[in-house]
Chains A and B, each alone.
Chain A
C-alpha cells in the first residue's frame, strides 16, 4: 500500500452532438493526482488523453490536463495505465448523452463507433512514442454488435422492464475502448537448436506468470516444425541474450513474439539447408514437421531433426555436411503501438434498499489480432476484468482528514474474490495487426480498462427511475444509497419528472 497508487483523476468533461446522436466534439479538463513525486512524467496523463475518444468518431477534441503533486503516495502506471480513467469519463458522458437524447446507449454507440471501412483512422495527435496516432486495424462497431448479440441485448432490455415493474432493479452497462498496445522500440530473441533437435528460446521479456513459456514456445514450435514440448523458453537472462527491454505495457507477445517468429524462421532455413545436404535433395523439396525432416513426397526419407543436426557436426572421418550453426538472434523493431479494442457488457442488480450491487453477468467481445493461445488470452482477460471489478465496486485508497491512509491492509483495501467475480464470457474477434509479422496485438491490460465504466453505466441504468447519476467508482452500498438520495433530490428539483 505504500509503494504506488493509481487511478486518481478528476475529469470535467463535456460532449457536443447533433439531435440525431452524431458526436461532434469532446472537451475535457483533467486533473491527475501524481502523489508526492512525479516519477513517471506525463506517461499517465498522456495515456489518458490519447485514449479518451476510444472507438468513437469525434472530429473535435480539446483537452486540458493538470498534473497535481499532492502529499499522497506517488501514482504509477498500473494495468491500463491512465486508460481506465479515460474510458470511465468517456463512457459516462456517452451514457449521459444517450439519456439526454432519449436514445438507447447501444444505439448511440452504434451510430458513432468506427467500423473496419474507417480504418486506418488517424486521431490528429502524436502517440507517446512520437509517431502519429493511427488505429491500424479492427472493427469497433462489429465488436459492439458481437457483444450485444452475445448477451442478447434486446432480451436483457425486455427482462429489465419486466423486473422493474416488480421492483427489481437490473441494469446493463456498456463500455468500449481502443488501446495502444505493445510499445516498442524493440525486443529481442535468440533461438538455437541443440544436438537432439530441441530448441532453446531466449528473450529479454521475462514471464510474470502470463504463460509466455507456453505462447512463445508455440510461436517457435510452429515455425521450426517441432513439438511444443521440445522448446525451452528462457526469460531475462543476459547470459542467454544480452539486450532486452522487458514485460510490461501489453508488449511481449508483439515485441518478443515477433523476434521469436523471425529468428525461428532463420533457424528453420538453416535446418532445411542441413537436411537438404543430408538427404541429398534440393532445399525446396525438404519438409520439416513434427521434429522430422523429409523429402517431399517420400515419407520413407524422414529423419529426426537431431540426426540432421548431428550430421552437420565434424567427425575424424569428415567435415560436417553444413556449418553446424543452428542459431539466430533477431531484434524486432516496433516503431509504434498496435491497437487492441473491446466492448464490455456488465449486467447488475442493485438493491435500492441497501445499496448493494450484485454483478450478474460480464461479457467481453474483443480483438487482440491473431490469437496465439486462446486460453492464455482468456486468462489475461479474466484477470484484468477481476481487477477492473475491484476498481468498479471495491478497491479504493482512502485517507482520513489527517492524511492517514485508512486502507493500509487487505482487511480494509478490498480486492474481489472468486465470490464477487461472475463467470466472464468472451467473444474473440480477430483483426490481425499489420504492424508485426505475427499479426498479434497486446492483451495483458485490456481486461482492466472497461469494467469500472461498464459497471458504473449498469448501476446508473438500473437506478434510472431514481434519477441517479454516477460520477465515481467504486460503488459500495453506502455510496449507492447516497446516489439514490441525491437522485431523489434532483428529481424533486425538476418537479418529479424523470
Chain B
C-alpha cells in the first residue's frame, strides 16, 4: 500500500521543525529515519496530515559525552551510536546489534526509536536501565522528561503534540560496572518476545552497590525491574540472590498481544533472561563497562 496523502515539510533546523509542529499540533508527525513510521504510513496504520522531515536539521546530528552522560541528538543513526558505543558503552552496542538489521540501523535513529515507543523495542528499556532522560523541545523552550515518565502506553509517550524529542541522555554506568543483555525473538531483527538489560556494580567490599534491570516486551511500556534491584543492594552477589532478584523483577502477567500465539514470552522465560543478564553482569564486574 501507499500512504494516505500528507503535507510534507523539510525542516532545516530543530527550530524550524518545532515551528511546524506548533502550527499543526496533533495532525503532524516527525519523520527521522522512518524505519517504523514509513511502514505504518504504508499500511495506513498512521495517517498524519503533516510530516515534518528533520533529516535536513543538521543541528540535531550530534553525539556528546560529558560528565558521565551521553547526549544523542535526534538525527544520530542507530549504526553511528552502535559504532561509538562499541568500546565505550558495550551494553548500548549490544542492544543496538539486535535492533533490526544493519541496513535498518544505517537509517533508523536512536531517538526516533525512543520516540516511537514500541514496548518490545530494545532502546526504550535501555534508556530506563541507564537512568536516562529525553529533552523535549517546543517553540520557546524545552523540558527534561525522565525515562520513567516518558512511556504511557504502547506507542504512546508523554511528549506533547507540539514537542519534538530533540535529544536522549543516557547516564553511562560507573567504571567497573558489569552488564548483561539478552532477548528472545522469533527471527533475527524482529521485535523481541521479551528481553532484559542489566547493570551491576560492586563496592570495595564486593557487595552490590548498584543494580539495574530494564525489561522490554513484557508489558505495555518498557519496565524497570525495581523490585529485583532492591533485593540486591548492599549484599554479596550470590547465585541464589541473583535468581531471587530475577524472579522478583520479572513480573507476573503475560501481556496480551493481538496477534501470534507465540507473541510473548512467559514470566518463567523472562525470569530466565533476567537471571542470565544478572549473571553476565556480575561476571563482567570490575572490568570497564
A interface residue numbers (CB < 8 A to B)? 351, 353-356, 394, 396, 398, 400, 406-407, 409, 411-412, 414, 416-417, 419-420, 474, 476-479, 481
Contacts and interface: CB of A to CB of B under 8 A. Distances in A.
B15 interface: no
Nearest to A352: B272
Interface string B258-284: 111111111011001100100000000
Given A414-B187, A420-B187, A354 B262 contact: no
Given A354-B272, A355-B269, A479 B261 contact: yes
Nearest to B273: A354
A478 B187 contact: no
Contact of B184 (A356, A396, A420): A356
B149 interface: no
A417 B261 contact: no
Contacts of A353: 269, 272-273, 276
A412 B259 contact: yes
B189 interface: yes
B188 A354 contact: no
B186 interface: yes
A422 to B, nearest CB: 13
4 interchain residue pairs of minimum CB distance: A476-B262, A353-B272, A419-B188, A412-B259
Contact of A406 (B188, B258, B273): B258
Contacts of A411: 259
B269 A477 contact: yes
B273 A476 contact: no
A417 B188 contact: yes
Contacts of B188: 417, 419-420
A479 B262 contact: yes
Contacts of A476: 186, 260-262
Contacts of A479: 261-262
Given A412-B259, A476-B262, A481 B187 contact: no
Contacts of A478: 193, 261-266, 269
A357 to B, nearest CB: 10
B190 interface: yes
A477 B184 contact: yes
Q: Which range holds the interface residue count of chain B?
A: 20 to 34
Interface in B175-216: 184, 186-190, 193
Nearest to A418: B188
Interface in B101-140: none
A394 B261 CA distance: 11
A481 B259 contact: no
A175 to B, nearest CB: 22
Contacts of B259: 398, 406-407, 411-412
Contacts of B266: 478, 481
Contacts of A398: 259-261
Interface of A is mostly: loop
A354 B268 CA distance: 8
Given A414-B187, A420-B187, 10 more contacts: A353-B273, A355-B184, A398-B260, A407-B260, A411-B259, A414-B186, A476-B262, A477-B186, A477-B265, A478-B193
Contacts of B43: 409
Given A394-B186, A419-B189, A477-B193, A354 B260 contact: no
Given A407-B259, A478-B193, A354 B184 contact: yes
B182 to A, nearest CB: 8
B104 to A, nearest CB: 13
A476 B266 CA distance: 12
B260 to A, nearest CB: 5
Contacts of B265: 354-355, 477-478, 481
A412 B190 CA distance: 10
B11 to A, nearest CB: 30
B272 to A, nearest CB: 3
A260 B186 CA distance: 45
Contacts of B260: 396, 398, 406-407, 412, 414, 476
A51 to B, nearest CB: 28
A186 B262 CA distance: 45
Nearest to A407: B260
B176 to A, nearest CB: 28
Contacts of A351: 184
A420 B187 CA distance: 7
A419 B187 contact: yes
Interface string B93-105: 0000000000000
B138 to A, nearest CB: 33
22 contacts: A353-B269, A353-B273, A353-B276, A354-B269, A354-B273, A355-B269, A396-B260, A396-B261, A400-B258, A406-B258, A414-B187, A414-B260, A417-B187, A420-B188, A474-B262, A477-B193, A477-B269, A478-B193, A478-B265, A478-B269, A481-B265, A481-B268
Given A414-B187, A416-B187, A419-B188, A477 B272 contact: no
Contacts of B276: 353
A323 to B, nearest CB: 60
Nearest to B39: A411
Nearest to B261: A398
Contacts of A355: 184, 265, 269
A398 B263 CA distance: 12
B164 to A, nearest CB: 27
B216 to A, nearest CB: 14
A41 to B, nearest CB: 31
A481 B267 CA distance: 11
Contacts of A356: 184
Nearest to B186: A414
Which of B188, B261, B264 has the most chain A CB within a 10 Å cutoff?
B261
Contacts of A396: 260-262
A352 to B, nearest CB: 9
A395 to B, nearest CB: 10
Contacts of A407: 259-260
Nearest to A405: B259
